[in-house]
Amino acid sequence: MASKELELLDLRLLQAAANGYSPDEMSRKYPSVTPAEAAVRVKEMLASRDIWDEVEKQQLLLHSAYAVKEKMEALLDDLDLLDDVPKHIDVYVKLLKTMDGILEKRTKLTEAEMEQITRAHAKAMMGMIEAGYQRARDLLAQEYPMVDLLEIDAAFNQGMKEASYAQEEDD
């Protein structure tokens, strides 16, 4: 198969997947590929395009939205027939609402992911603090058997409370 035919097939497979086709349906529509080949190829194409993080995706989407917005505004400026203007404005408003919805969903997803990451980091930090403190406590007990570990525990806990209060004031 020639390179251009492969590119066209790739675009058709990607579009079919975007329209909800199953690999079996794609294979029936494009007999030159098996269902497994269709599924693998779509996954490969998606993976190769998924290099942007959520913030970059939002920025790219906004860039596209501004480009479409600019074209729509130029079209509205160029329209001579007043009958066409409301129809085009309607399309323009729907486009803006759609873009806003997409951005809002992406923002919510990003916020949820950030909360999950923050919780995981906090859990890891607590584990490291506890392990480090326990190691220091064990070494102190070995090196200085007469030291009152409860007094050290109280001092550590007081220091943690003070740091927590200071952090809350900074926020």
Please indicate, yes or no, if residue 104 is contained in any of the structural domains.
no
pTM of the model: 0.39
Please indicate, yes or no, if residue 86 is contained in any of the structural domains.
no
HSE-CB for 126 with a 13 A CA cutoff: 6
Please indicate, yes or no, if residue 35 is contained in any of the structural domains.
yes
Please indicate, yes or no, if residue 102 is contained in any of the structural domains.
no
- φ, ψ for residue 31, nearest 5 deg: -60, -15
CA distances from 90 to 72, 84, 115 (A): 11, 10, 38
Please indicate, yes or no, if residue 68 is contained in any of the structural domains.
no
**pLDDT of amino acid 117:** 84
Please indicate, yes or no, if residue 46 is contained in any of the structural domains.
yes
Closest CA to 137 of 152, 127, 151: 152
Cα 11 from Cα 17, distance rounded (Å) = 10
Please indicate, yes or no, if residue 7 is contained in any of the structural domains.
yes
Per-run averaged pLDDT (10 residues), the chain, 171 residues: 68 91 94 94 84 73 79 72 66 79 72 82 89 92 92 91 85 70
Domain carrying residue 138:
129-170
Cα 11 from Cα 45, distance rounded (Å) = 9
Total domains in the chain come to 2
